[in-house]
Structure 1
Amino acid sequence: MTATAWQKSSYCAQGDSCVHVTATTDGLVKIRESADPSGSIVTTTAGDFRELLRALRVGSDSAPGFELSYGPGDQVRLRAAGDGDAVVTTSRARWDAFVKGAVAGEFDHFAEERASGARASA
């Protein structure tokens, strides 16, 4: 279950701090906040990630398989249903950069279904 390289949106500001996405060789998609690389990593299926991308493209904050909430200040939290207590917490600016990348199709390759054991491209 090796992960490929982490990818961030091209809309992220300078530096590496942003929402990052990767895929594992067994077809799972992982999402993290790179400002906290030892923090929570949300794990989901390629199909559920595809639904998240679809929802973001139409401007919805609701996607099957995910809970998205806005906390105090500019905090945004993302949790995948069935992923235990893992919650990715980021800023509104970083989330907005991720959404812009999603709308532009930058993460579509992570949403493709893969046969178990097939390598994902980054």
Structure 2
Amino acid sequence: MPIPEWQKSSYCGEGDACVNVAADASGVSLTESSDPDGAILHTTPAAFAALTHALKTGAPSPHIDVTHTPDGLVHVGGAVTTTDEKWAAFARGVCAGEFDHFGRCQ
């Protein structure tokens, strides 16, 4: 299986500290950069597009649950855990349109 080409937001800090996104023929994947071979959320382009739309509009995501905890963590789709800071950088990239191409059919 080929290694996915992960993309992170330009709003992320130096290094790999961010939420990463990749796509292939099977769909869209999200992971926490500190564990790119560990917890990965696999989803469809349509569900990812709905997530990015939700982030842009402030609405809840209809397909991918995003939960913020009091201790500063964000759980995405029951699979990926990241920090509020990394999620905020990802969301800024989403709002800037950096991930729009992942929501299109491959």
- The worse-fitting range, judged by mean Cα deviation, of 28-37 and 64-73 is 64-73
Could you tell me the TM-score, scaled by structure 2's length? 0.92
Give runs of aligned pairs for residues 98-113 of structure 1, distance below 5 A.
Answer: 98-113=90-105
Deviations 1:45-78 (A, max 9, x none): 0001000010000123x11111111124110000
Cα distance change of structure 1 residues 38 and 4 upon mapping to structure 2, 3 Å threshold: closer
Structure 1 match to 2:65: 67
Give 3-state SS (helix, strand or coil) of 1:97's partner: helix
Structure 1 match to 2:48: 49
Higher-Rg member (1/2)? 1
RMSD in angstroms over aligned alpha carbons? 1.5
Identity across the alignment (%): 42
Structure 2 stretches lacking a partner, 5+ long: none
Using the alignment, how far apart are the partners of 2:85 and 2:58 within structure 1?
Answer: 16
Could you tell me the TM-score, scaled by structure 1's length? 0.80
Structure 1 match to 2:81: 89
Deviation (angstroms), 1:2: 4.6
Using the alignment, how far apart are the partners of 1:32 and 1:38 within structure 2?
Answer: 8
Q: Which runs of 4+ in 1 moved over 2 A?
A: 1-4
Give the number of the structure whose residues are more often helix, by fraction.
Answer: 2
